[in-house]
Structure 1
Amino acid sequence: MNATDRTPADLLRSALAADPGRPLVTYYDDATGERVELSVATFANWVAKTANLLQGDLAAEPGDRLALLLPAHWQTAVWLLACSSTGVLADLGGAPVSADLVVSGPDTLEAAAGCSGERVALALRPLGGRFPQPPQGFLDYAVEVPGQGDRFAPFAPVDPAAPALAVGGLELTGEQIVERARADARERGLTAGSRLLSGLSYDSWEGVSAGLLAPLAAGGSVVLCRHLDRLDAAGLAQRMESERVTAQAL
């Protein structure tokens, strides 16, 4: 990663320039058996499409607050980087009634309906599948995002000193996120090529850092596991071996 990177979106751009083909996010859902692996290039493509949706169709502007009501999931990671790309503040678990727009999973639609701005719903089905029937009052992310552009350019430069992430009672700027992520990477001993397995939720800084930001800052990758408690010790050991895990956050 480059010393000049000042936002999470900068970290992703540097990763893309360095080695677009390497794994970045490997996602498991042990309730469904789903496994998804995204290279840096594939992940960056999802981020670009989502940022274009956010800036274009949803008319989000820098400084807007987006209530992000999603679990630890590869699509949540995409939304976090899309928000960073556009200057939108990602409020993980934030109150929809006080947000400018909301992104919801299938289990939080009722609460998300309290947002008076744009509403997007994710089915969180395997392979990014859509809802069988789109929730009333929501755009279906899986329907809207495929047609978006593969390259993204913000209408205005993103200010690294502006608030960018709210999680677990913290509100951090882009610069602070990068600084914290780098410090966490050093503390965990992450370097280029490290593979961190995380079973933590995205409701705290520790979970978001381990589950995306610290591996990204280090030039490594994350094995992001949801419902990891469904695995026994032997299953976890087998996964760590098969995924070449070098560090863990459980």
Structure 2
Amino acid sequence: MNASDRTPADLLRSALATDPARPLVTFYDDATGERVELSVATFANWVSKTANLLQGDLAAEPGDRLALLLPAHWQSAVWLLACSSVGVSVDIGGDPARADLVVTGPDTLDAARACRGERLALALRPLGGRFPQTPDGFADYAVEVPGQGDRFAPFAPVDPNGPALAVGGTELTAAQVVERARADATDLGLTAPGARLLSGKAYDSWDGLSAGLYAPLAAGSSVVLCRNLDQLSAEGLAKRIESERVTTTA
């Protein structure tokens, strides 16, 4: 990655310029059997569309706070990078009543209704499917995002020293997220070309976010992100590590 990258969105732009075709996020849900693989280019396209939705339709601005009530999921990773692109600060599992916007999965709709700002819901169905019926008081992400533009340009420059992430009681700027991710990449062994990390950690801690997105992105490597990994047998895990060419696990 580029030494001048100061935000997670910068890291994604560098990855796109370097090798857009390589895998970035491979997602498994072992409760449903879902598998999705996103190249850098495909992931970046989702990020651009989501950032356009966030900045345009939802009128989010740099410094706004978004409560993210989502599990470890490829769409959660998209939202993290979209917020970085706009300059919106993400509060992982944050109080919706204290947020300017909330993005929620199907299991936390009641809590998310405490947000007085824009509310967006994700069904978290395979292939990014929509809700059979849109929950009252929410916009359905799967309905709103497809029509958004494929290219994104922020209305205002994103400050690397502005608030970017709150998780586990710690607040980090965008630059601090990048700095920590680079250090973690070394600690996780993501130093060789083509390194692939398998993570079954939740997105409710820095360790989970770093292993499941930020460190592989900072290292120019990729992540095999597994939800409900405890439902996979030891034999199944071994086969996945082999078939996905995993080089290290978290």
Name the TM-score, length of structure 1 as normaliser: 0.99
Q: Which stretch has the larger CA shift, 164-173 or 54-63?
A: 164-173
Tell me the amino acid that sits aligned with residue 218 of structure 2.
Answer: A
Residues 146-165 of structure 1 mapped to structure 2, 5 A cutoff: 146-165=146-165
Deviation track 1:81-103 (CA, whole Å, cap 9, x = no partner) reads 00000000011100000000000
Distance 1:114 1:194 in 2: 42
Q: CA separation in 2, counterparts of 1:143 and 1:156?
A: 27
Corresponding letter in the other structure for 1:223: V
Aligned to 1:180: 180
C-alpha distance in structure 1 between counterparts of 2:195 and 2:6, whole Å: 22
RMSD: 0.4
**Cα distance, 1:109 vs structure 2:** 0.2
| AA at the equivalent of 2:175 | E
Q: Partners in 2 of 1:247 and 1:184 — Cα distance?
A: 13
Residues 50-69 of structure 1 aligned to structure 2 (within 5 Å): 50-69=50-69
Taking the aligned partners of 1:162 and 1:51, their CA distance within structure 2 comes to 17
1:168 deviation in Å? 1.2
- The residue that corresponds to 1:11 in the other structure is 11
Report sequence identity in percent. 81
Which region of structure 1 is more displaced relative to structure 2, 186-195 or 50-59?
Answer: 186-195
What is the distance in 2 between the residues matched to 1:189 and 1:124? Answer: 31
1:50 Cα deviation after fit: 0.1
Which residue pairs with 1:143 in the alignment?
A: 143
What runs of 5+ residues in structure 1 fail to find an aligned partner? Answer: none
Structure 1 equivalent of residue 83 of structure 2: 83
Report how many residues are paired.
249
- Which residue of structure 2 lines up, in the alignment, with residue 109 of structure 1? 109
Cα offsets for 1:110-153 (capped at 9, x unmatched): 00000000000000000000000000110000000000000000
Equivalent residue for 1:196?
197
1:98 aligns with 98
SS in 2 for 1:27: strand
List runs of 5+ in structure 2 lacking aligned partners: none
Deviation of 1:170 (Å): 1.1
Shift in Å at residue 158 of structure 1?
0.0
Report runs of 4+ in structure 1 exceeding 3 Å deviation: none
Query: What displacement does 1:193 show?
Result: 1.5
SS of aligned partner of 2:114: coil
AA in 2 matched with 1:44: A
Q: Which residue is 1:247 aligned to?
A: 248
1:215 paired with 2:216, answer yes
Q: What's the counterpart of residue 166 of structure 2?
A: 166
What is the correspondence of 1:125-144 to structure 2 with a 5 Å cutoff? 125-144=125-144
